[in-house]
Amino acid sequence: MPDAAAGRRLLRAAGFRVSKRRVFESNTLLDTADGSLAAAGCMLRIRDAGGTGLLTYKGAASVGKYKDREELEVEVADPRRLAALVARLGFVKTLGYEKYRAEYRRPAEAGVATLDEVPIGVYLELEGAPRWIDRSARRLGFSETEYITESYFSLYAAYCCKRGLPIGDMTFTRSPRPAPR
């Protein structure tokens, strides 16, 4: 998306309404010391979203037209304490990243659209059944050729590589782009 305001206008025009207000998220990706999760295409993440903690495991992705992967999540009361706990279990931080996220839904539909503002740009993500994704994408004016299935880390790594920047945490204070409003 060119910017968050354009994304909000597009979603509203297509009948989507805010289901979760915009919130700042701080995310920490974790792995074993030998990188076995990443080697298997899996991921472990701790997210602090407005004081709510979330531990997420994502299995290896099956990627084609859509990205599909096992996802297990549990809400936690204290994300900092959880980070200490997983460190004691031998997990280490591999990457930190920040984003602002708002969720949108259309009445009586099962899928969700998220408007994500990350340090490298603004993205509209559709999560749901393949038919819902295709129908919603068309309603929003996107063709299948515009689908992106890469992770934010992959997009960020490509962004840094193209600009000759070192890859580190993807944060608004570290990024060459201004923080979104």
Domain of 90, CATH number, reads 2.40.320.10
C-alpha span between 49 and 108 (Å, rounded):
26
Q: Is residue 62 part of a domain?
A: yes
Task: Let me know if residue 176 belongs to a domain.
Answer: no
pTM greater than 0.85 (yes/no): yes
pLDDT of residue 174: 66
180 falls within a domain: no
- Asked whether residue 101 is assigned to any structural domain, the reply reads yes
Residue 17 φ/ψ, nearest 5 degrees: -125, 150
Domain count, the chain: 1
pLDDT the model gives residue 178: 43
Judged on CB neighbours under 10 Å (0-12, 13-18, 19+), 31 is buried
175 falls within a domain: no
Residues 88-104: b if buried by 16+ CB within 10 A, e if exposed: eeebeebbebbbbbbbb
Q: Is residue 39 part of a domain?
A: yes
Residues in the chain with pLDDT < 50?
178-179, 181
Alpha-carbon 32 to chain mean position? 21
Domain with 36 in it: 4-163
Q: What is the CA radius of gyration of the chain?
A: 17
| Alpha carbon distance 124, 116 (integer Å) | 6
Alpha carbons within 13 angstroms on the beta-carbon side of residue 58 total 16
Residue 175 has a pLDDT of 54
Tokens of 78: 């204290």
Query: Looking at the domain assignment, is residue 54 inside a domain?
Result: yes
Q: Is residue 172 part of a domain?
A: no
